[in-house]
Structure 1
């Protein structure tokens, strides 16, 4: 891990993300790029060229001033931090910034949502998750000592999901951790017997690891009334440090398991959540 991108709006939760980024930057001798998106309105863009230039200068100067206070933190001492201010309004542009700067990880702060059926609906974090080809780590609470030792990975046992799984393993190699691959068996038309699940899991692991499953990896089967509950409950039971969820990008996390994954997990788990593009 060499470069970390942290999109910020100068909020308290954005501060949590920067603190985690600082911890990882120190652990892996990485650098941080903090990005503030001004997102000026169409009304602004319709102004005359001179007015537009004057206001752009004003907002740029204001953002730089806010950076002075926002980044004046003891935990950033000794960390290389690059500030960026852009007039982006479409959050998919963050993916382009990440690619252009060879970013390995995007970290964002989020307060989640209050509704049980909501995920990041309409929020900046969800927009980034949907458009990002790069892993996105979502921080919900202060985590100054962030070092995951046990990760719960939501696994649907489908071969087409192996790409995301490999991306996760590549990032997790940065930490000495245990990985629980959790398949949630539901009481619906997709219900499988224990034997059927084992057969499917064995095939998934054989393809993913060429038959040699790493010693730090354990396949877990749980039964529950929703994927969200199954992942969330297992993470709580084993006192996991991080929940990992694959996503199909623009269709959103909520469409991963045929329309049902992530709402309760991401919004109501206080644990950090990381997403990987399928």
Structure 2
């Protein structure tokens, strides 16, 4: 059985993510595992001030909280879909290492994490555990803003620079979209300094590559003009047109341009749109 893995620190933001993950799981026929990591002292700068740390006690307390959270999720009514089984794990150590182990042991197609602050995209720029996990290229990671509420996914925007590898990943997104009969809007953002003929040729080749990899029919293409990728993405989130944004994280590529760009602070506003980040190569099956 496919299982969505949900790291939690028991914050309001991570509680929102667990709710979102549960509803997503029931729609795609998946189970849920809640995951908590008890950080060791060297990972917690303030720890030496307090001397000895009772890790077993911290783990015991965390397990109790996980049991309460699991029980609360199981109380959510499910009418038409299969109710996901909710399990939990708690280990002492690095969250990244714990997730790597679980990804090897189980069929986990997706990681779902809560983000604090203004929204998933803004938190991304500020740096966090989310960024560390995404940089590790373990699993596709869905970043859920604290104010996000799950609703039926009707349109997914896939932001691309039309790298050929993105065609493979759009086919993966199509597997997810099929569960909701959602449209996939392939979005390419450029400034107005482009050769129209060369651009159309590149777009046609890219869309052909997509069609060779998936027969999903609800896929459309849109070219947005904007000097800054982050501004173009922000316009998408504010338009109300999409329910999820998908991007691919490659070093020195689209996401890195956003991280380093001067427009990043303009993204630091309230957003209710989850951000799904794929590693360059993905074996997940939705």
* Runs of at least 5 residues in structure 1 that lack an aligned partner in the other structure: 45-50
What is the rounded CA distance, in whole Å, between the counterparts of 1:275 and 1:262 in structure 2?
Answer: 20
Map 1:80-229; keep pairs closer than 5 Å. Answer: 80-89=85-94, 91=96, 93-112=98-117, 119-187=124-192, 191-210=193-212, 214-229=216-231
| 8 Å Cα contact 1:205/1:211 also seen in 2 | no
In structure 2, do the counterparts of structure 1 residues 171 and 117 end up closer, same or farther at CA, with 3 Å as the change threshold?
closer
Post-superposition offset of 1:140: 0.4
What is the rounded CA distance, in whole Å, between the counterparts of 1:236 and 1:271 in structure 2?
Answer: 9
In structure 2, do the counterparts of structure 1 residues 35 and 68 end up closer, same or farther at CA, with 3 Å as the change threshold?
same
TM-score between the two structures when normalised by the length of structure 1: 0.81
In structure 2, do the counterparts of structure 1 residues 97 and 76 end up closer, same or farther at CA, with 3 Å as the change threshold?
farther
Map 1:252-263; keep pairs closer than 5 Å. Answer: 254-255=255-256, 263=264
* Runs of at least 5 residues in structure 2 that lack an aligned partner in the other structure: 45-50, 281-286
| 8 Å Cα contact 2:36/2:95 also seen in 1 | no
- Counterpart of 1:64? 63
Which segment drifts farther, 82-91 or 259-268? 259-268
Which segment drifts farther, 150-159 or 74-83? 74-83
- Counterpart of 1:4? 4
For each residue in 1:207-266, what CA deviation from the matched residue of structure 2 results, as whole angstroms up to 9, or x when unmatched?
222398743111101111201111221343352111111112x66863268965995697
TM-score between the two structures when normalised by the length of structure 2: 0.79
| 8 Å Cα contact 1:130/1:251 also seen in 2 | no
Post-superposition offset of 1:65: 1.8
- Counterpart of 2:284? none
Which segment drifts farther, 64-73 or 1-10? 64-73
Which segment drifts farther, 28-37 or 95-104? 95-104
- Counterpart of 1:48? none
What is the rounded CA distance, in whole Å, between the counterparts of 1:173 and 1:265 in structure 2?
Answer: 33
In structure 2, do the counterparts of structure 1 residues 202 and 236 end up closer, same or farther at CA, with 3 Å as the change threshold?
same
Map 1:220-239; keep pairs closer than 5 Å. Answer: 220-237=222-239, 239=241
| 8 Å Cα contact 2:37/2:95 also seen in 1 | no
What is the rounded CA distance, in whole Å, between the counterparts of 1:163 and 1:104 in structure 2?
Answer: 15
- Counterpart of 1:75? 76
| 8 Å Cα contact 1:186/1:225 also seen in 2 | yes
| 8 Å Cα contact 2:174/2:184 also seen in 1 | no
SS at match of 1:169: helix
For each residue in 1:4-62, what CA deviation from the matched residue of structure 2 results, as whole angstroms up to 9, or x when unmatched?
00000000011111111111222233211110011111399xxxxxx98x933212211
For each residue in 1:195-218, what CA deviation from the matched residue of structure 2 results, as whole angstroms up to 9, or x when unmatched?
322211100111222398743111
In structure 2, do the counterparts of structure 1 residues 99 and 174 end up closer, same or farther at CA, with 3 Å as the change threshold?
farther
In structure 2, do the counterparts of structure 1 residues 144 and 161 end up closer, same or farther at CA, with 3 Å as the change threshold?
closer
What is the rounded CA distance, in whole Å, between the counterparts of 2:143 and 2:275 in structure 1?
Answer: 5
For each residue in 1:66-113, what CA deviation from the matched residue of structure 2 results, as whole angstroms up to 9, or x when unmatched?
223333423288531111011222625423322322101111100246
What is the rounded CA distance, in whole Å, between the counterparts of 1:277 and 1:16 in structure 2?
Answer: 24
| 8 Å Cα contact 2:160/2:254 also seen in 1 | no
Post-superposition offset of 1:142: 4.2
